[in-house]
Structure 1
Amino acid sequence: MSIYHLLEIEFEYNGQQQVITPILLQDENDVILIDCGYPNFIPLLEEAANRHNIPLTSITKLIVTHHDMDHIGSLAALKRTYPHIDIIAYELEAPYIEGAKKSLRLEQAEASFNTLPDEAKPGAEHFIRFLQSIEPVGVDQTVSGGEWLPWCGGIRVIHTPGHMPGHISLYQPATQTLIAADALIIEEGELAIANPQYTLDLDEAIRSVERLLDYDIEQVICYHGGIFHGDVQQALQQLIHKYRD
């Protein structure tokens, strides 16, 4: 039997209080962490996992949904601290996580720099340096869209590009739960697209939401927002219509 735990982590970033929600999946064989926060988040992850009486030493696998800094910032440090953890990522994402390709978020920041007003450039330079500082780490296993992972009751990999081309979400049929990562967020109680202005391909992001209608989803867990409370199918349809109409 599989159990999931929400690791709600509250922290301050750029002077603002934020919350992210990595997920722990657990069964008799595995403890799987999905995404791992910003750099230096191991103590926060440890504290959140301990609230569920799960030590980080028990984690066997870490699934990365995409290579944004708030999802992979502590990845290299976790692998260094707990080398037995297998890092798993979508096949398109692996070169970015491993440092073989430049971060797409870094490319985006660099490309927009010259269009910024002068007063915004120091902040942008700081952000670029921060992105450059994210430490690469080797990926132990790559997965593809539609692949079935036989862990924690079974997990279906769903390729949900848009926010990033290699973004994935994860679906657990046994619990009818979608772990959306950044394919969806919750804003004021409603499902929304994560930072549309920073989404690399907004049309593709909406098509990814449309594909989610093919799944029997009772609950959605978003990295930014936690669990969605409401009719999932209706909320997805409303989100699609917001951008299509």
Structure 2
Amino acid sequence: MEKELLEEKTQTHGSEYDVADDVAGIKVVFVNVYMIGKPGEGNPWVLVDAAIPNSASRLIKEAETRFGKDNPPQAIVLTHGHFDHTGALEDLLKTWGNIPVYAHPLEMPFLTGKSHYPPPDPAAGNGAMAALSFLFPTRPLDISGRVQPIPHDGFIEELPDWRFIHTPGHAPGHVSLFRDKDKVLIAGDAFVTTNQNSVFSVATQKLELHGPPSYFTCDWRAAKKSVRRLAQLKPSAVGTGHGKALRGKEWRSQLQELSDEFDTRALPGSSRYINHPAHTDENGIVSMPTPISYWVAKGLAIGAVAGLSLWAWNRLRK
């Protein structure tokens, strides 16, 4: 009876972030995680990404609502290791114990303490999130004893119906997940469904297709190829790292348009990584392009803070 009640509760707990009946999207402030598995007490499931710091209790509560108590995931899969996708990871592992964590081999140096990420580019993207990105942490995690590389064939035993697709650009080892039988895609940050550069769009979750978040994308040539590869899959439903889920032919055609028009729609007007990407390998950063002027970035940040303050003041007056 308890299992039936839980299944009924979770089936009616759909949200704009859910990608399929067995792929629940959970929005945590400004980033999404996904729980893959049929709802029900004791059912097996897998967590995709680990949100921001101090969100572990929220994720555990969501998991218990969907899959019951004392039922940790069979695995945690990381689309990439940026701070907003791994923030709660260490706390989750303390609670859930010895479960495997999977990531692409090129993400390993950033998850095993070997290398920090290529720094964000505050000049990439016209918005406060981009301008303030120099504040975002790039230091590596060190979960050396827990994380393991995704096999070269792109499959793990915990998710036999899903294949992992290397979609670099936003991060060197970024991966997306695709289920061929129903064409469901978890894109990560290869592209997103809100303008992640804009605080307003992030706050309102305005639904619109965008390339990867500009400020952290360290290889724009690779990012373009990754969007093209995902568009060619013609997904029936999409969940991304930021923004609401997409379904239907209309959005499929818009994804193709984003791929075709990537240079004009996704490339920032200025970025240290457009012409010269960050060079990384299995050990981390090898070389970096010259950054734009610090004073340009500082000026953008000052403008962003001023704009945010004015927006907040106007909101308070209403």
TM-score by length of 2: 0.61
Letter in 2 for 1:26: G
Q: State the shift of 1:90 in Å.
A: 0.7
Letter in 1 for 2:213: N
Q: Is 2:32 the counterpart of 1:21?
A: yes
| 51, 58, 61: which one aligns with 2:72 | 58
| 149, 154, 162: which one aligns with 2:161 | 154
Q: Is 2:116 the counterpart of 1:102?
A: yes
Distance change (3 Å), C-alpha of 1:230 and 1:38? same
Runs of 4+ in structure 1 over 3 Å off: 27-30, 53-57, 150-153
Distance 1:67 1:73 in 2: 9
Distance 1:30 1:61 in 2: 10
| 147, 158, 178: which one aligns with 1:171 | 178
CA contact (8 A) 1:26 1:152 kept: no
CA contact (8 A) 1:30 1:61 kept: no
Distance 2:32 2:163 in 1: 20
Mapping of residues 44-83 of structure 1, within 5 Å? 44-55=58-69, 57-83=71-97
RMSD over aligned CA atoms reads 2.7
1:229 maps to 247
Question: Over alpha carbons, which structure has the higher Rg?
Answer: 2
Distance change (3 Å), C-alpha of 1:145 and 1:184? farther
CA contact (8 A) 1:36 1:72 kept: yes
Distance 1:162 1:186 in 2: 17
Q: Is 2:49 the counterpart of 1:30?
A: no
1:137 maps to 143
Structure 2: runs of 5 or more not aligned: 1-19, 123-131, 195-205, 265-318
Deviations 1:177-218 (A, max 9, x none): 000111111124332112224311122111101111332421
Q: State the shift of 1:76 in Å.
A: 1.7
More strand by share: 1
Distance 2:110 2:68 in 1: 30
Count of residue pairs brought into register by the alignment: 220
CA contact (8 A) 1:38 1:71 kept: yes
TM-score by length of 1: 0.78
Distance 2:67 2:133 in 1: 40
Letter in 2 for 1:90: H
SS at match of 1:33: strand
Q: State the shift of 1:153 in Å.
A: 4.8
**Percent identical:** 25
Deviations 1:218-238 (A, max 9, x none): 111112113113424312211
Structure 1: runs of 5 or more not aligned: 12-17, 114-122
